Structures are given as structure tokens and as C-alpha cells.
Structure 1
Amino acid sequence: MIRHRTLLLFALLFLVPFALHAQIGVYAGFSGAPVSGAGTNTAYGAQVGIYKQTGYAMNLISVGGDLRGTFLNHDGFHYYTGAVGPRIAFKAPILPLRPYVEGLVGVGNVQYSSNNSSTHFNYQVAGGLDMTIIPRLDWRVVEFDYSALTGQSVNAKILTTGLVLRVW
């Protein structure tokens, strides 16, 4: 009997708050970027990813992680990245806005021509603003992402807009 009460108390204190407030979001968007050091000035493409974050502490701040891929192309040039890292999101008290910041690391592949492709360590710093359209569906109004490859002079200043589906 004591064992059942202990398990119930554990579930109420530790599992239920996380289950009720944890959030998983899946997102996709269209990105455009001025590209430096690449032989092309701009590139366009998709950004896709998934994030998980905790509930909002004092209904204001949430922490979690993000896993994403960015696929930019233009005239034979491509800049593909896959990255993961921490995410901090804020919730406006009354407005349906969720600003966030992220720091990500991963790998990136850059191709200048059909014969010249290389893969390097990638780092990204991102910040953006999501706005709730309907419950569980957000519009990613804008995200700015600075993305660079180590050992290369190429970097991209990526602007993205898209949709976020908060599945849980």
C-alpha cells in the first residue's frame, strides 16, 4: 500500500507537471540568405526541424533543445547544414507571441560547383519570433540565423518564415 502511494506521489510531483507543460514543435519554412565567401550573393531553400522544451517557469521562460536542417541553393551552389543545440523561449503575458534564441552546432556541406564540395563543422546563432494563429499552430514570423563553417570563409545570414505545429 505504501509503495502504491509513493509511486502515485512521484507521478503527481514529477511526471504530471512535465507531461502537461512539455512541448514538442515541428516546423518548416522558406529561407533566403545573403551568402559571403561563396561566389554567389544569395541562396534560397527550406528549413525543417523539431524542438522540445519544458513548461514555462513562472509562465514566462522555457528551455529546451532544437534539431534542424537548412538547405540553401542557387545556380549550382548549395549550403546544407544539420545542427542541434539549446533553445530558450519566452512567452509574452497577454500577446500570442513567443520570441526565442538558440545556439547550435553541427555539420555543414558547401558546394561551389559540381566538382568542389566540402563538409565542415558548423555553428549557428539564431533568434526569432513565433506568433500563435490557432491553438497548436504558430506562424514563424521571422527568424534570423547566422550560420558559418569552420575552415571556410563562407557564411550565411539566413532569414526564415514558416509554420510551427506544436504537437504536444
Structure 2
Amino acid sequence: MKLRSLVVAVVLALAVVLVPASAHAQGAIYLNPIAARVSNSTVDNSQFSFLGQNTTSRIFYGVVFGGYYDIPMSSRTVEVGVDLRDAVLHGNNALLNSFQLGPRIAFWPTTHRLHPYVEPFVGVGTTRAPHTQATVGKLGYGVLGGADYELGHHVNFRVFEVGYSSLVTASNSTLGNTGTGFPAAKLITFSSGLTFRLPQWGRNRH
């Protein structure tokens, strides 16, 4: 929680510095469904197994919510900003809470309404196994890529967003104090939905 508070404080400080520097800044917020395939190369049959006993993969479902802040570049076709998000997913009575922060690079072709983007990120992933109330929080990292289709001045349809990341989850190693190392899980995520763009000033894309 301390790390999350520090990250939020840094983002707010950057916003205070950057907003006066660009009259063309724009942000957006979103709340969309998300699915994740979580897999591990090693089976964990202990009571602390995040994926459950006798399996190396499981599908989780939930919601992702957050917002991004873009600063248009001088080319008018590329924007660089920051994305802050939190995803809450469940599967087999297990919990995955992923808090992420990273730079966002978006491309705005002048003749198209489809805007691809890419986002490398770092964050904190909190996991809870199905048969325990103990949670494990670890640093995670990965990359996201997707495309938004502009429906109107303030609404985009997120056609798709796919992510790949790595995270150490709850296991016999992290909760059972066995001293035996356990590999990080691999996460592949998919999301789609709507993004709502906040008003912008000083720029017309079309």
C-alpha cells in the first residue's frame, strides 16, 4: 500500500508540472471487463497454491479501471503520456489485484479513426490462493498493446487490448516458508470496452 501511495503521488506531481506546459493535453478514463490466463511451469500442490492443485494454468475474469494522460507531440500524430490502472480478477475462488503504471505511446494517423498504442509498465500484483486468506504482494512488469476506435469527440471503442506480464504469486514458496524457489507466473490478458476522453484544449485532430 505504501508503494501504491508513492506511485499515485508521483503521478499527481507530474500532472501538476506537465499541465501548464501543454495546452493540448488530454486524458481519458475507462472501466472495462478483462480476462487473464495465468500459467506457471511448475505445479504447486500445497494449500497455498494460487492456481489450485494439479494444474499449471487457469483463467481469471474481472474488471480493469483507470485513466491516462496524453501530451501531444509536435508531429500531431504521436502522443506520449502515462497510464495508471488497477485490475481486480477472480478465478477458482482466488484473487488477483494488479496495480500498474507506465508510459503510453499512442499513434493518431491523420486519415483514420483507429489509434493503436503500446504501454510498457511496472506495478504491484497482489494474489490470494483459494484456500487461505493470506495475500502476497510482489513487483510485476510487462507490456500492453491495443487499439482504440474513435466513435465521437469524447468516446472511443477499445477494439482490443492484449497484455503480457510476469508476477510472483502466492505459493508454497511465498507463504509456506519452505525456502524452495518457485518460478514467476506468466499472465496473458485481454480487454475490450469503452474509453471516455476528457475535453482537450487548443487542438483539433480532424
TM range (shorter): 0.7 to 0.9
> Unaligned stretches of 5+ in structure 1?
1-14
Structure 2 counterpart of 1:31, which letter?
I
**Counterpart pick for 2:120 among 103, 110, 124:** 103
> Residue 58 of structure 2 contacts residue 91 of structure 2 at CA under 8 Å; is this kept in 1?
no
Q: 1:77-130 CA deviation, whole Å, 9 max, x = no partner?
A: 121110111110000221111110001111001112241531100112001100
Is 1:74 aligned with 2:87?
Answer: no
Superposed, 1:116-155 pairs within 5 Å as 116-150=134-168, 152-155=183-186
Structure 1 counterpart of 2:155, which letter?
L
Residue in 2 that maps onto 1:46: 63
1:95–1:17 CA distance, 2 compared to 1 (3 A)? farther
Once the 2 structures are TM-superposed, how far is the Cα of residue 147 of structure 1 from its aligned partner? 2.3
Identity of matched residues, %: 31
TM-score, normalised relative to structure 2: 0.69
How far apart in 1 are the matches of 2:162 and 2:189?
A: 6
Residue in 2 that maps onto 1:156: 187
- Bigger proportion of residues as strand: 1
Q: Secondary structure of the residue that 1:59 maps to in structure 2?
A: coil
Once the 2 structures are TM-superposed, how far is the Cα of residue 16 of structure 1 from its aligned partner? 8.3
TM-score, normalised relative to structure 1: 0.84
Residue in 2 that maps onto 1:165: 196
Once the 2 structures are TM-superposed, how far is the Cα of residue 76 of structure 1 from its aligned partner? 0.8
Residue in 2 that maps onto 1:34: 37
How far apart in 1 are the matches of 2:21 and 2:185?
A: 44
> Residue 61 of structure 1 contacts residue 88 of structure 1 at CA under 8 Å; is this kept in 2?
yes
1:17–1:93 CA distance, 2 compared to 1 (3 A)? farther
Aligned residues: 154
**Counterpart pick for 1:83 among 75, 83, 100:** 100
Once the 2 structures are TM-superposed, how far is the Cα of residue 161 of structure 1 from its aligned partner? 0.3
How far apart in 2 are the matches of 1:59 and 1:113?
A: 49
